[in-house]
Structure 1
Amino acid sequence: MPPPRRTDHPNGAAQNAAPPSASPAAVRMVEAVSAGIGLGANLGDCAATLRQALQGIAALPGTQLLRQSSLYRSAPVAATGPDYVNAVAEILTTLSPQALLQALQNLEHAAGRERPYRNAPRTLDLDILWWGELQLHTPTLTVPHPRMHERAFVLLPLAEIAPERVTPEQLRAVQGQRVERLG
């Protein structure tokens, strides 16, 4: 049997495509991509919910949790309700951006997430911050996240685990936003 041939996948990652005559075991493999996930919650036991979400993210198919930040408390931005507990994680995943989004929304739903109105308080909020070097804008997903560099609750945890992704100028721009690292 000829070896698999390399092709470009629509999500921007390269993959190995099995020849048409290949056995089911020769299924195509998408190269793993680094992705960032922002986590937040402001209803219920937020810290426990984020820890459980991190376990859920690590258990996603084709996904490895590389790094996770400490937990941070922050005031809601453009919303009402109690303070949020936030974190950022970096993963390595073979999931496409849309498949990752669906998997994260499933985790939100399992945590009791409801969407009664825009920026409503939430039991769990999971956002894709970046997916490799991909720039994507669809009705359901924009990566990189369009407001991540405007939010201290993303930038401070991100600077903790991936300082190369945050500039001093970005940190200065959000220094007026109340964020505190939790023990």
Structure 2
Amino acid sequence: MAERTAEIKRKTKETDITLSLSLDGDGQFDVTTGIGMLDHMLEQLAKHGRFDLRIKAVGDIDRDTHHLTEDIGIVLGQAFDQALGDRRGITRFGDAIVPLDETLALVAIDLSGRPHADVALEFDRDLIGELPTENLWHLLESFAKEGRMTLHVRLLAGANDHHRAEAVFKALARALRAAVSLDPAAAGDVPSTKDVL
């Protein structure tokens, strides 16, 4: 089996990002974005998805965290798309419902090759740490688009904004783990009647 890995670099006038990803890792991570809450969410993704993830990112966060958060979503999506290759043998679909104390998050994914994001997030505060909550929605949308996947996210319960965000990223991790997993019954087939994803 070919290694399912990716290395992506993106440099613009606003951001400079280097990312490496292994889909078949054991949850090792080294994430530095300069935005503590964003680091925490990406670490949850790596740990609970059992992906090896390294991200070194700098950007114009003295102005706003929007550019850096969006570009990390772009690069992360590109890395998943690259690591999946032609998507032969994958399970394709994944979903997870994850609790975190009073919070309950649902994420469903189809690695269909067709980008779509339906992300319903509600937060009480504008910021979690120094991360604007609206940027979480934008990161997930950019990730789905560049990862060529359909992504649905719902918060089913919750009172604490930190818990809400963390439960979403843990659910995303578990759903991705299921979707990227190799299906032994598929024998390397593309999981589509079109024979292409």
The TM-score normalised by the length of structure 2 is: 0.26
More helix by share: 2
The TM-score normalised by the length of structure 1 is: 0.27
Larger radius of gyration between Structure 1 and Structure 2: 1
